[in-house]
Chain A
Amino acid sequence: MDETPASLRWIGLALLALLLALPSLATLAGDPAWVSLATRMLIYALAAVSLDIILGYGGLACFGHAAFYGIGGYTVAILYRHWQTSEPLFGVIPGSTQFLVVIPAAMLAGGVLAAAIGALSLRTAGVQFLMITLAFAQMLFFLFSSLSQYGGNDGMTVRRRNEFPGLDLRDDTVFYYLVLAILLAALFVAHRLVGSRFGRVLGGIRQNERRMAAIGVQSYRYKLAAFVIAGMGGALAGALMVNQARFVSPDMLFWTKSGEMMIMVILGGAGTLIGPVIGAITLTGLEDLLGRIPGWGEHKLFAIGLLLVLVVLFGRGGLYGWLRRRLR
């Protein structure tokens, strides 16, 4: 849409170089915890980018992205549990720990869930849409909280990461690079998507749905398709996060998680692909930093909340928008 200033491209390349070199830097600094923090950042970036497809590009205020993120996570955990006990899920679906089976399964689950939630919630718009997506996500939170065979309220541990032929994902560095590769691939796919015929229609719907009807476009189908794509992306992120943390809990589905993902998108810059990545890295990093302040760590959400209010009131276009204005 707009030209990207050349200096910004350089910053992007520098960021990419930094991400590529990060595990080595962590080793040099003697702090391997960096790698897992960075992995979390990238996974949240993936979740935020997928949310931005509907939120930023489609203009649909969805407050339930955690539903897809959580369902992706639970797919990994549930398939692991059934693999461990050798009892098929619902008596037919065998468990698995194969990355190339589990991840597509998670995305499928996210897509199906998004189709169901979207089909209902997209019958409304605006504030109703927002409240409905929030409510359905919360419904899943209650559902998974009550499933005691999968840990109920407390969640459950997934003792091992999924297996990828030829890669040792137990190694944090290998897993980090895999996540980085997936994020870059997702960004490329999203880039093609928003520039395609479909992406144009989606952008048109955001700007003026009445106009779209007047050129013969039935918005509902396109919004639903975008919602399903976003749901699959969210589920992918959730599945990766459970692999990273080796743990799943209903917290992944809690409404504040949806809120956090929205903050990432808005903080970084909605309606762009790089914005949500910047937002996710910034917010995750900030939470990590604030969490280290002795005595105040547990109240870090105060700072996050305040930041959010300020960004909404005064920061148009988020960090990415600010960067672009500075560099122009």
Chain B
Amino acid sequence: MATPLLRAIDLVKSFGGLRATDHLSLDVTEGEVHALIGPNGAGKTTAVGQLIGEIRPDAGQIEFAGEDISRLPPPTRVRRGLARSFQISQLLQDYTALDNVALAVQAREGHSFRFWGAVRRDARLRRAAMAHLEETGLAALADQRTADLSHGQQKQLELAIALATKPRLMLLDEPMAGLGPTETQAMTALLRALKGRIAMLLIEHDMETVFALADRVTVLVSGRSIACGPPAAIRDDAAVRQAYLGDGDA
């Protein structure tokens, strides 16, 4: 098997007495959709925080494309191709949808120590940003102020921005959270279209989405990975059913 694109090795993180991540190992291969599921409080958010660099693990190592990135700050990881979307959208509310994406394109192109030329008249920049809006179905809303977009549209914009960084892997933190049935379907279709092109680590509560999209599923309980395998195997795993799926369909 080829070297995985992202690899977390034996991550440990404690807050006070609570062990939020307990010797977690996990990998995502090129083009794969790997879902990370687990009940509330299982430590999914803490795990994402460590992968993206907002939280420093107490022990363990994170590799991306074969290199140790454990000590890199988040922006550097992003520039190496590790993008993320936020569970609670973190958009630039005063800017338009297009501005939000254009800024990500601008950041990808290198430093922004350019003090003179007007961004809004930079046709190339705007075209590149527009392409990502079209890809996520937001083209019609390009000039809307972000604060005026609906929750579902903001989630799509999150994705458009992540795509604009030209990632090799996206950490998607609950992209379906708070979406209605139609919006969930649209988002699922969107992610399916991206599948194979960009690797994804998908943190998601919606089991239907997980089983529809994922190549592999890792189940996290109390900071530990209790099972990892293809969706069908996970669905039938006795330990998982007991720990997690048990309540609904047992």
Complex contact flag A–B (Cβ < 8 Å):
yes
| Residues of A participating in the B interface, judged by any CB pair closer than 8 Å | 1, 192-193, 195-201, 203-204, 207-208, 210-218, 222, 225
| Contacting residues, chain A, for B115 (C-beta < 8 A) | 192-193, 196, 198-199
Contact across chains for B119 and A200 when beta carbons are under 8 A apart: yes
Cβ-neighbour of A203 out of B76, B95, B107, B118 (below 8 A): B95
Contact across chains for B120 and A195 when beta carbons are under 8 A apart: yes
Contact across chains for B107 and A217 when beta carbons are under 8 A apart: yes
Binary interface encoding of chain B residues 81-110 relative to chain A, with 1 for a CB under 8 A from any of its CBs, else 0: 001101000111111000100111011100
Contact across chains for B118 and A195 when beta carbons are under 8 A apart: yes
| Contacting residues, chain A, for B15 (C-beta < 8 A) | none
| Contacting residues, chain B, for A204 (C-beta < 8 A) | 92, 95, 103
Q: Does B60 interact with chain A (Cβ within 8 Å)? A: no
| Contacting residues, chain A, for B95 (C-beta < 8 A) | 203-204, 207
Chain A residue with the shortest CB-CB distance to B106 = A197
What's the minimum C-beta distance from A203 to chain B, rounded to whole angstroms? 7
The distance in angstroms between the C-alpha atoms of A132 and B76, with both chains bound, is 28
Contact across chains for A214 and B73 when beta carbons are under 8 A apart: no
The distance in angstroms between the C-alpha atoms of A211 and B101, with both chains bound, is 11
Contact across chains for B112 and A198 when beta carbons are under 8 A apart: yes
| Contacting residues, chain A, for B117 (C-beta < 8 A) | 196-197
| Contacting residues, chain B, for A225 (C-beta < 8 A) | 113
| Residues of B participating in the A interface, judged by any CB pair closer than 8 Å | 52, 54, 73-76, 78-79, 83-84, 86, 90-95, 99, 102-104, 106-108, 112-120, 161-162, 164-165
| Contacting residues, chain A, for B92 (C-beta < 8 A) | 203-204, 207-208, 211
| Contacting residues, chain A, for B91 (C-beta < 8 A) | 208, 211
Contact across chains for B107 and A216 when beta carbons are under 8 A apart: yes
Contact across chains for B112 and A201 when beta carbons are under 8 A apart: yes
Contact across chains for B112 and A215 when beta carbons are under 8 A apart: no
| Contacting residues, chain B, for A212 (C-beta < 8 A) | 75, 107
Question: Given A207-B93, A214-B78, A215-B161, are A198 and B86 also a contact pair (CB < 8 Å)?
Answer: no
Contact across chains for B112 and A222 when beta carbons are under 8 A apart: yes
Contact across chains for A217 and B75 when beta carbons are under 8 A apart: yes
Contact across chains for B74 and A213 when beta carbons are under 8 A apart: yes
| Contacting residues, chain A, for B118 (C-beta < 8 A) | 192, 195-196
The distance in angstroms between the C-alpha atoms of A218 and B74, with both chains bound, is 9
Question: Given A203-B94, A215-B78, are A196 and B120 also a contact pair (CB < 8 Å)?
Answer: no
The 6 closest A-B pairs by CB, nearest first: A216-B78, A215-B104, A216-B79, A207-B92, A197-B114, A197-B112
What's the minimum C-beta distance from B165 to chain A, rounded to whole angstroms? 6
Contact across chains for B112 and A200 when beta carbons are under 8 A apart: yes
Contact across chains for B116 and A218 when beta carbons are under 8 A apart: no
What's the minimum C-beta distance from A152 to chain B, rounded to whole angstroms? 39
The distance in angstroms between the C-alpha atoms of A179 and B112, with both chains bound, is 31
